[in-house]
Copies of this chain bind each other. A is one copy, B any other.
Amino acid sequence: MSRTIPVDLPGRAYDVTVCSGCLQQAGGVLAALGGVSGVTVVADAAVAGLYGATVMDSICAAGLPANLIEIPSGESSKNLATYGQVMDRLFSLKPAFDRKAAVVALGGGVTGDLAGFVAATALRGVRWVQCPTTLLADVDASVGGKTAVDHPAGKNLIGAFHQPSAVLIDVDTLATLPERELRSGLAECIKHGFIRDASLLDTIEAHADALLAREPDLMAEFIARNVAIKAAVVVEDEKESGRRADLNYGHTIGHGIEAFAGYTQMTHGEAVSLGMVAAARVAAGRGLVGEAFVTRTERICRRMGLPVRRAGLNFDAIWQIIQHDKKNIGGKVRMVLPVAPGEVDIYDDITEGQVRAAVEFIGKK
């Protein structure tokens, strides 16, 4: 069974397809785009080993010339140096990479962001198809067209908005996903519940074990619900001038903690989990929600195997990082805070004291 979620951006509408085995349909999807002269698949080494042949075979079966460019696995590849290397490979292809060529991003968030930025900027932009292979990429990076590489000064500082032409989410790829990465993706799903859909939080609590066991049918349904939430937010506000910022729930202090801990020490979802607890704590401190909201946040995150406390945090260092976040404007710190389950609002007046109290809270035993 296949589920399709339309992303109705005017002039750049595309479908996200969620199903079992749909990597084998990649070639057909590319051929259906029309006029594609050739396809370059970008995948990290690990994912290329697992699924590269499936995708390449599918593209060849559709009669399209195909090339595979491998990048080293891991967040450390998401930089201008690797981006330049992919461009070098792209522009040495024979026959030459042209404007009708397409890029396929096969892998997790790093591959999607990097290959997407390549597609956004090679020949000033070519079409691309995203095939995410991690739960985090499935529910987060796969919708919205944000592409980027990191800079030493911060994550995702260099990038572009470039919507894909199609997204194929093959839930079978979750079978090979390391446990910790599965949990990292679940953190963004929890976030979706908190910002838009309280019933998703109920589903997570009711089916916690089945989700952690990656029960395929449940997972496909669950991913589709998450993609639909993200798609609705993105369609409302593509360029993040308004409510798309809600997706940053848990990410302000979360990013600060993640950068402080070092990106290799903590998964993104672990940081978001801590960030959601911290945001709930700030909101409770301001009287926006009650203490029970903080407790429920902690309970749901814990149930999904995510951390809600972290020892050794240095507030001053984290505060420095938060102040440099690219989402801040004119020196003020901005945070998305909960006002009820499934509902958040954006606050521009967050004080150092409020953030300090929240960071100290998650630093407690």
A328 at the A/B interface (Cβ < 8 Å)?
Answer: yes
Mark out the residues of chain A between 142 and 163 whose CB falls within 8 Å of any chain B CB in the assembled complex. Answer: 146-148, 151-154, 156-161
Q: Are the C-beta atoms of A329 and B37 separated by less than 8 Å?
A: yes
Q: Are the C-beta atoms of B160 and A125 separated by less than 8 Å?
A: yes
Mark out the residues of chain A between 322 and 337 whose CB falls within 8 Å of any chain B CB in the assembled complex. Answer: 323-324, 326-331
Mark out the residues of chain A between 115 and 138 whose CB falls within 8 Å of any chain B CB in the assembled complex. Answer: 117, 120-125
Q: State in angstroms the CA–CA spacing of A161 and B120 once bound together.
A: 10
Q: A148-B124, A151-B87, A154-B91 known; A100 and B329 CB under 8 Å?
A: yes
**Number of interface residues, chain A, beta carbon within 8 A:** 41
Q: Which of these, B125, B151, B153, B331, contacts A161 with CB under 8 Å? A: B125
Q: State in angstroms the CA–CA spacing of A328 and B123 once bound together.
A: 11
Task: Name the B residues within 8 Å of A123 (CB-CB).
Answer: 157, 159, 326
Q: Are the C-beta atoms of A98 and B159 separated by less than 8 Å?
A: no
Q: A80-B80, A91-B151, A124-B146 known; A327 and B157 CB under 8 Å?
A: no
Would you give 25 A-B contacts (Cβ < 8 Å), ordered by A?
Answer: A37-B329, A80-B84, A91-B151, A91-B154, A92-B153, A96-B323, A96-B328, A98-B326, A98-B329, A98-B330, A99-B327, A99-B329, A100-B330, A117-B121, A121-B159, A121-B160, A122-B158, A123-B157, A123-B159, A124-B147, A124-B159, A124-B160, A125-B160, A125-B161, A160-B160
Give chain A's interface residues, CB within 8 Å of chain B: 37, 80, 83-84, 87-88, 91-92, 95-96, 98-100, 117, 120-125, 146-148, 151-154, 156-161, 323-324, 326-331
